[in-house]
A and B are shown apart, each in its own frame.
Chain A
Amino acid sequence: MANYKYHILICGGTGCHASQSALIKENFEKLLKENNLENDVQVIGTGCFGFCEKGPIVKILPDNTFYTQVKPEDAEEIIKEHIIKGRKVNRLLYLDPKTQEHKDDSKHMGFYKKQLRIALRNCGFINPENIDEYIARDGYKALATVLEKNDPEWTIDVIKKSGLRGRGGAGFPTGLKWELCRKNQADQKYMICNADEGDPGAFMDRSILEGDPNTLIEAMTIGGFCIGATKGLVYIRAEYPLAIHRLQVAIGQAREYGLLGKDILGSGFDFDIELRYGAGAFVCGEETALIHSMEGLRGEPTFKPPFPAVEGYLKKPSNVNNVETFANIPVIINKGWEWFSSIGTEKSKGTKVFALAGQINNVGLIEVPMGITLREVIYEIGGGIKNGKKFKAVQTGGPSGGCLTEKFLDTPIDYENLIAAGSMMGSGGMIVMDETSCMVSVAKFYLDFTVEESCGKCSPCRIGNKRLHEILTKITDGNGTMQDLDELRNLAHVIKDSALCGLGQTSPNPVLSTIDNFWDEYVAHVTEKKCPAGQCKALKQYIIDPDKCKGCTACARNCPVNAISGTVKNPHTIDQSACIKCGTCYEKCKFNAISIK
């Protein structure tokens, strides 16, 4: 084996990939060859580092130098300066926005300081297409432990005591779920992984699959052994070609090494994994719907009970867990439940991965211990609001969650607190919004999504959400009344109480939480016909400042509905009743005399 002096790690996550990281890797490889360094320096394409805002990321080991926003042509300078002469390329180091200092080690960056990486431990560290690198990082050690003990109940007990809860959203205790499935006798059982990440704005499952696919294989095999299943199925989105490819490579290598297939590690236990492709339906995140989709049917949920643990895939007992949940399993076995349960809050143990996005400085994928506050996440890890604007709300839980305001900034994040605040953990999308976001429009945006994704099986969700959407449209168009606000609230509660599945029951959350937290904004839309954030097109008013207007007539000549009047060299005015708010006058004015209110 070659003894490398340096390792160059290049992020191959989706964000960096879109910014030409593949070309960066090619350039490094080419230049190393030209300089006869290919036996001294190893180039590795890794999974996501998480700091997508500053991508593409290139990291140099062993000195842990973290280069940001690297361009393909920068490869030459990094090799000439850093690799050959040992001098770091300052201009590519992360610039701390507060101190204006360059930070060369990611450990000293605000973005990473408060993070604790368990599920993402290998992402951005190993080559996901090489099983040896996973094994070198204690990979498959947990599986060996479990098979050697040969006591599924011991393993289930460890998971139960660790306090691990489902990371897909609802937070059901994982150990208990396994135990329930184990108790049901059948000739065939199934261990299923839900990798159908449909929550817009969340991409943690994808990052784990792309950055560390072996952890999923190891955890599913452990789970299969515990519940008594010899077959594993991964339900994965067809829109994730890179994740599918990496998982297939990993499955192939695991089979070659005898870590999948017959008689795993000589234990006599057989287990193998197959992939099933999703086809883009949000409701398939619900476990009964997911199972129907795997059977080749429409992904409609069915009433529980019977739970999948009794009657699941092909009517056999099945257990469904999310990718992130699985990623925690090997670490819990290796480090012990005592260690895991020492992290987090009383009822929520361990860490949670969040996809931090929106109007925030450091967009990216983060993993933090449960119990951290939103303030720490947004201001310390996230680096605060973009362009120095004011924080308005943070949305968690995707289309099933809600918007939290400033007063929740110091609430420790865990399953219970988020639900008490009117939102939920969900799969981990965290969208930060500043003062320019209109909360009525945000609620409408989520309802748009729910209406489109409702499977149509139960009427509260199919018809109710459509009505909610209509009322919200009425309000943003400036035709809402106070009675509409009452109806919105009533209808939302009816849907919550009567819908069949998790999607329907949680779909009114964005409406309810914005009504509760931003009541004044709704009232302004209805009574004053004004959108305080200036987002709702129909409520916008274009106004000409008479002091700035030179009377050039450009606006009046370009107005498509002749709503602007005035004489040459005299200030013009806009007839608000005729104005269609197209914005042409605003674009044409050379003197910035037109403002939007």
Chain B
Amino acid sequence: MDKIIIKMKKEVREKIIEICNKFNNQPGELINVLHQTQDYLGYLPAEAQELIAECLHIPTAKVYGVVSFYAFFTMTPKGKHPISVCLGTACYVRGAEKVLDAFKKELNLEVGQTTEDGEFSLTCLRCVGACGLAPVAMVGDKVYGRLAPDMIKGIVAEYK
């Protein structure tokens, strides 16, 4: 385990320890610790989970159990422009699946993957609460509404 931890940069290690300290290394604050770590790193690599387990004095398996349980936590780094397609019911009945297929085709990606150059990643989400604009997708923090499959190429091109 020690070997893996050395792989992380010293400043990253220190930042994670700082986050854990902020929450008094309380096991009950695990989810808050994970939220802030993911905010900082963009994802939760195995090394980070091991370090958090050490700080909070809980088994690594427990940390991994929580990380894998919640959809919001991810162990793969997201792209520079993370794309999320809403698959909530309102979007679904207005054709969200076809929009998702168009993104897959345009980026040559499956859901949950990131492009090799690290530019784009593709995920699905459940309802952003903009059902009036269905079907909806988000690129970063920007919401695109009333989508049709033929608009996808243009949206991706905005970020290239």
Cβ B66 vs Cβ A363 within 8 A: no
Q: A201-B88, A299-B69, A358-B89 are in contact. Are A52 and B133 (CB under 8 A)?
A: yes
A280/B72 contact (C-beta < 8 A), A18-B130, A19-B133 known? yes
Task: Encode A18-39 as 1/0 by CB contact (under 8 A) with B.
Answer: 1100000000000000000000
Please pick, from A295, A355, A433, the residue contacting B28 in the complex, using a CB distance under 8 A. A295
Partner of A395, one of B31, B34, B89: B89
Given A279-B35, A281-B69, A281-B70, verify A203-B87 contact (CB < 8 Å). no
Q: How far is the CB of A472 from chain B (nearest CB, A)?
A: 15
Q: List the B side residues contacting A363 at CB < 8 Å.
A: 90, 131-132, 134
Check B129 for interface membership: any CB of A closer than 8 A: yes
Smallest CB separation, B89 vs chain A (Å): 4
Given contacts A239-B125, A279-B31, contact A15 B131 (CB under 8 A): yes
Interface of chain B residues 105 through 145 with chain A (CB within 8 A): 125-134, 136, 142-145
Give the distance in Å from the alpha carbon of A449 to the alpha carbon of B133 in the complex: 21
Mark each residue of chain A from 226 to 264: 1 if its CB lies under 8 Å from any CB of chain B, else 0. 000000000000111000000000000000000000000
Assess whether B134 is in contact with A298, with CB atoms less than 8 Å apart.
Answer: no
CA A89 to CA B104, docked complex, whole Å: 43
Given A15-B130, A18-B143, A203-B127, residue A279 in contact with residue B88 (CB < 8 A): no
A398 at the interface (CB under 8 A from B): yes
Q: Which residue of A lies closest to B23 (CB)?
A: A296
Contact with A along B83-113 (1 / 0, CB 8 A): 0000111101110000000000000000000
The answer to whether A530 has its CB under 8 Å from any CB of chain B is no
> B residues within 8 A CB of A276?
31-32
Interface range for B = 35 or more
Q: Is A174 an interface residue (CB 8 A)?
A: no
Residue among B31, B126, B130, B133 making CB contact with A200, cutoff 8 Å: B126
| Inter-chain CB contacts under 8 Å: number | 126
CB within 8 Å of A: which of B30-59? 30-32, 34-35
Q: Decide if A364 is an interface residue (CB 8 Å cutoff).
A: yes
Q: Given A200-B127, A429-B89, are A364 and B132 neighbors across the interface (CB < 8 Å)?
A: yes
CB <8 Å contact, B126 and A18: no
* Residue of chain B at shortest CB distance from A207: B129
Q: Is A4 an interface position by the 8 A CB rule?
A: no
A200 touches B143 (CB 8 A): no
A452 shortest CB reach to chain B, Å: 8
**Which residues on the A side are within 8 Å of B26 (C-beta)?**
296
Cα distance, A358 to B93, chains bound together (Å)? 6
Q: In chain A, what residue has the closest Cβ to B65? A: A298
Residues of chain B with a CB closer than 8 A to A541's CB: none
Tell me whether B127 and A201 are in contact (CB under 8 A). Answer: yes
Chain A residue numbers with a CB within 8 Å of B71 are 279-281
* Known contacts A293-B31, A295-B28, A363-B90; A18 and B133 CB within 8 A of each other: yes
Q: Say yes or no: is A297 at the interface (Cβ < 8 Å to chain B).
A: yes
How far is B90's CA from A395's CA once the two chains are assembled, in angstroms? Answer: 10
Give B65 Cβ to nearest chain A Cβ, in Å.
Answer: 6
Return the CB mask of A299-326 against B: 1 if under 8 Å, else 0. 1000000000000001000000000000
State whether the Cβ of A352 lies closer than 8 Å to any Cβ in chain B: no
B17 to chain A, nearest CB (A): 18
- Cα A202 to Cα B90 with chains together (Å): 9
List the B side residues contacting A455 at CB < 8 Å.
69
| Interchain CB contact under 8 A, A18 and B145 | yes
B18 within 8 A of A: no
Instruction: Tell me whether A279 and B129 are in contact in the complex, defined as CB-CB below 8 angstroms, given that A238-B35, A296-B30, A358-B89 are known contacts.
Output: no
Q: Please determine whether A53 and B69 come into contact, CB atoms closer than 8 angstroms.
A: no
Q: Does A445 sit at the interface, judged by CB under 8 A?
A: yes
Contact B131 A203 (CB under 8 A): yes
Q: Which residues of B sit under 8 angstroms from A299, Cβ to Cβ? A: 69-70
Partner of A431, one of B35, B69, B90, B129: B90
> In angstroms, how far is the closest chain B Cβ from the Cβ of A200?
4
In the complex, whether B29 has a CB less than 8 A from a CB of chain A is: yes
Q: Does A357 contact B (CB under 8 A)?
A: yes
Complex CA–CA separation, A276 to B31 (angstroms): 9
B127 touches A279 (CB 8 A): no
Nearest Cβ on chain B to A297's Cβ, whole angstroms: 7
Choose one: B29, B94, B130; the contact of A52 (CB below 8 Å). Answer: B130
Assess whether B35 is in contact with A202, with CB atoms less than 8 Å apart. Answer: no
Residues of chain B lying within 8 A (CB to CB) of residue A442: 93
User: Which of the residues A15, A199, A200, A314 comes within 8 Å of B132, measured between beta carbons?
Assistant: A15
Given known contacts A18-B133, A52-B131, A357-B131, A398 and B89 CB-to-CB distance under 8 angstroms: yes
Known: A19-B145, A52-B132, A238-B35. A200 touches B89 (CB 8 A): yes
Q: Are A201 and B89 in contact (CB under 8 A)?
A: yes
**Minimum CB distance partner of A299 in chain B:** B69
Once bound together, how far apart are the Cα atoms of A314 and B88, in whole Å? 33
Contact assessment for A279 and B72 in the assembled complex, using a CB-CB cutoff below 8 Å: yes
- Measured CB to CB, the nearest residue on chain A to B124 is A452
CB distance from A387 to the nearest CB of B (A): 12
A202 touches B127 (CB 8 A): yes
21 contacts between A and B (CB under 8 A): A18-B130, A18-B133, A18-B136, A198-B126, A200-B88, A200-B126, A203-B127, A239-B128, A276-B32, A279-B31, A279-B71, A280-B70, A281-B71, A295-B28, A297-B30, A298-B65, A357-B89, A359-B93, A395-B89, A429-B89, A449-B126
Chain A to chain B: the 7 pairs with minimum beta-carbon distance, closest first? A52-B132, A357-B90, A203-B129, A18-B143, A279-B70, A200-B88, A280-B71
Q: Which residues of A contact B (CB under 8 A)?
A: 13-15, 17-19, 52-53, 55, 198-203, 206-207, 238-240, 276-282, 293, 295-299, 314, 355, 357-359, 363-364, 395, 398, 429, 431, 433, 437, 442, 445-446, 449, 455
Residues of chain B touching chain A, judged by Cβ–Cβ distance below 8 Å, are: 26-32, 34-35, 65-66, 69-73, 87-90, 92-94, 125-134, 136, 142-145
